[in-house]
Amino acid sequence: MKQFKIFWCLPLSIILLSCSTVGKLVTNAVAYQSVRTEQYKADIPDDATIAVGYSIGYDGSLIAIVRNLTDQIMIIDQTKSFFVNSDGLSTSYYDPTVRTTSSTDIQSNTGGASVNLGAIGGALGIGGPLSGILSGINVGGSNTVGTSTTNTTYFADLPQISLAPKSHGAMSKTFIISGIGGHGMSDLGPMNSTYTPQSSNCKFSVCISYSVDGGNSFEKIVTPFYVNALIACPVKRHGQVNEALREVLTIKPDALGESWWTICAVNNYDLDNNGFSRGFLTDYK
């Protein structure tokens, strides 16, 4: 219980103290959202060829890291690798004609990405327990910072990328998932909904094409995701945010045990900094 109080104390204090900058801060609700892969996969087996780790930011930004588990050179074909958004829109990881707000060059997001990569690295078994934080992140090269003994290189925005044996790298773009994160929960009324892969109203997927025979043939790994829980509890009296938070956690006792989840205080001030997210998702083939 003591650890639980410490866990929530700082984020909620930041949310509450922000009222001093805007006059009267009005928090209407506390909202929670969690995402799962359609097929949960825990430990990566020894005979797997490829593993992919996914991190979702509080703003709904999706980062994918690919790990080559073989002793062969792996070719990632970014022209045949896609992000399919929750609205059904499919976007290639390599498309020089696409420059919209739904896709962002990775160079502009390295600050937030470096934080998210640590959790993914641990999930993919990269570098052992002392190398959980993957630092030294840049485009087209690698370097080591601090105590980390591994490097994560972002793939250049090229049609095909060669990935060395037993190495890993981040796909060349991040994508913003519609309906995920703080902005996706900003206008929720009171609700308590759980979903299956079939009933979820927010589903998205990633398809990555790869070859381990020099490009003679390509396989694909497709990872479907879905929102499995969406909860919003109103703040019944001004300032009683903790009561609404307690109600969320009473409704869903395993809220903090989901693979990925986010929580936010729905208020009249700042949708970008009124909550936070935790977790990662993995897939392999």
Mean pLDDT of 253-261: 92
The residue ranking higher by pLDDT, 108 or 276, is 276
The reported pLDDT for the residue numbered 128 is: 42
The residue ranking higher by pLDDT, 8 or 61, is 61
CB contact set of 216 (below 8 Å; sequence gap of 6+): none
The answer to whether residue 103 sits within a structural domain is: yes
The residue ranking higher by pLDDT, 109 or 246, is 246
The residue ranking higher by pLDDT, 236 or 23, is 236
Query: Mind spelling out the 3-state secondary structure of the chain?
Result: CHHHHHHHHHHHHHHHHHHHHCCCCCEEEEEEEEEEECCCCCCCCCCCCEEEEEEECCCCEEEEEEEECCCCCEEEEEEEEEEECCCCCEEECCCCCCCCCCEEEHHHHHHHHHHHHHHHHHHHCCCCHHHCCCCCCEECCCCCCCCCCCCCEECCCCCEEEECCCCEEECCEEEECCCCCCHHHCCCCCEEEECCCCCCCCEEEEEEEEECCCCCCCEEEEEEEEEEEEEEEECCCCCCHHHHHHHHHHHCCCHHHCCEEEEEEEECCCCCCCEEEEECEEEEC
The answer to whether residue 114 sits within a structural domain is: yes
- Check if the beta carbon of residue 174 is closer than 8 Å to that of residue 106: yes
Q: Is the pLDDT of residue 187 over 80?
A: no
The answer to whether residue 14 sits within a structural domain is: no
The answer to whether residue 10 sits within a structural domain is: no
Q: What pLDDT, in 10s, does the model give residues 207-236? A: 999 999 999 999 999 999 999 999 988 888
Mean pLDDT of 84-89: 94
Mean pLDDT of 233-244: 80
The reported pLDDT for the residue numbered 123 is: 53
The reported pLDDT for the residue numbered 223 is: 97
Q: Based on the structure, what is the number of domains in the chain?
A: 1
Mean pLDDT of 4-15: 45
Mean pLDDT of 19-24: 51
The answer to whether residue 16 sits within a structural domain is: no
Mean pLDDT of 156-166: 87
Of 91-100, 136-145, 265-274, the least confident: 136-145
Mean pLDDT of 175-190: 79
The answer to whether residue 22 sits within a structural domain is: no
The reported pLDDT for the residue numbered 209 is: 97
The answer to whether residue 5 sits within a structural domain is: no
- Which residue type is seen at 187? D
Single pTM value for the model: 0.75
The reported pLDDT for the residue numbered 115 is: 35
Q: Please, which pLDDT band fits residue 125 given cuts at 50, 70 and 90?
A: low
By percentage, how much of the chain surpasses pLDDT 90?
35
The answer to whether residue 126 sits within a structural domain is: yes
Structure tokens that stand for 218 in this block:
């390509």
The reported pLDDT for the residue numbered 252 is: 93
What range defines the domain where residue 169 resides? 27-284
